[in-house]
Structure 1
Amino acid sequence: MSDHTTVPSAEAATTATATAAIVEPFFDPVTSTVTYVVHSGRGSACAIVDPVLDYDPKSGRTSTESAQRVIAFVREYGLTVQWLLETHAHADHLSAAPFLKQQLGGKIAIGEHIRMVQGVFGKVFNLGGTLAGDGSEFDHLFADEETFHVGPLAARAMHVPGHTPADLAYQIGDAVFVGDTLFMPDVGSARCDFPGGDAHTLYRSVRKLLDLPGQTRLFMCHDYPPESRGPRFQSTVSAQRESNIHLNDSVSEDAFVQMRSARDRTLAMPNLILPSIQVNIRAGRLPEPEDNGVRYLKIPLDAL
Structure 2
Amino acid sequence: MKVYFHLNIGGFSNCYIVVNEKTSEAIIIDPGKITEEIISRIEDNHLKLVAVLITHNHGSHAGGLHTLRKIYSPKILAADWEVAGEETTVISGDGTLRLAKMIVKYMSVPGHTSDSVVYQIGNILFTGDILSAGEIGSTNSSYSEYILKSNIEKKIFSQQDNVILMPGHGPPTTLGAVKAFTADFKKMIQSPQNDRVRN
Give the TM-score normalised by structure 2.
0.86
Partner of 1:110: 78
Q: Deviations over 1:229-280 (max 9, x none)?
A: xxx2x11111111112323xx321129996xxx9xxxxxxxxxxxxxxxxxx
Which residue is equivalent to 1:212?
159
In the alignment, does 2:51 pair up with 1:83?
Answer: yes
Identity of aligned residues (%): 20
Q: 1:245 aligns with which of 161, 164, 183?
A: 183
Q: Output aligned runs, 1:105-254, within 5 Å.
A: 105-111=73-79, 114=80, 136-185=85-134, 188-193=135-140, 198-207=144-153, 208-223=155-170, 232=171, 234-247=172-185, 250-254=186-190
1:289 paired residue number: none
Matches of 1:48 and 1:82 in 2, distance apart? Answer: 9
- Cα distance 1:73–1:162, how it changes in 2: closer, same or farther (>3 A)? same
Q: 1:33 aligns with which of 2, 13, 19?
A: 13
When residues 93 and 216 of structure 1 are mapped into structure 2, their CA distance, relative to the original with a 3 A threshold, is closer
Query: Using the alignment, how far apart are the partners of 2:35 and 2:187 within structure 1?
Result: 39
* Paired residue secondary structure (1:171): strand
Aligned residue pairs total 194
Summarize the Cα distance change of 1:86–1:93 in structure 2 as closer, same or farther, 3 Å threshold: closer
* Alignment counterpart, residue 38 of structure 2, candidates 43, 47, 70: 70
- Please give the alpha-carbon distance, in whole angstroms, between the structure 2 residues aligned to 1:239 and 1:88: 24
Query: Quick one: distance in 2 between partners of 1:138 and 1:104?
Result: 13
Deviation at 1:211, TM superposition (A): 1.0
Q: Is the 8 A contact 1:110 1:138 kept in 2?
A: no
Runs of 4+ in 1 over 4 A off after TM superposition: 91-94, 255-258
Hey, what's the Cα distance between the residues in 1 that align with 2:41 and 2:72? 11
State the one-letter code of the partner of 2:2. Answer: I
Q: Is the 8 A contact 2:118 2:128 kept in 1?
A: yes
Mean Cα displacement is larger for which, 144-153 or 167-176?
A: 144-153
Residue identity in the other structure for 1:86 = I
Gaps of 5+ in 2: none
Q: Which runs of 5+ in 1 are unaligned?
A: 1-20, 54-65, 119-132, 224-231, 263-304
Q: Which has the larger radius of gyration?
A: 1
Q: Distance in 2 between matches of 1:148 and 1:30?
A: 31
Q: Distance in 2 between matches of 1:170 and 1:138?
A: 20
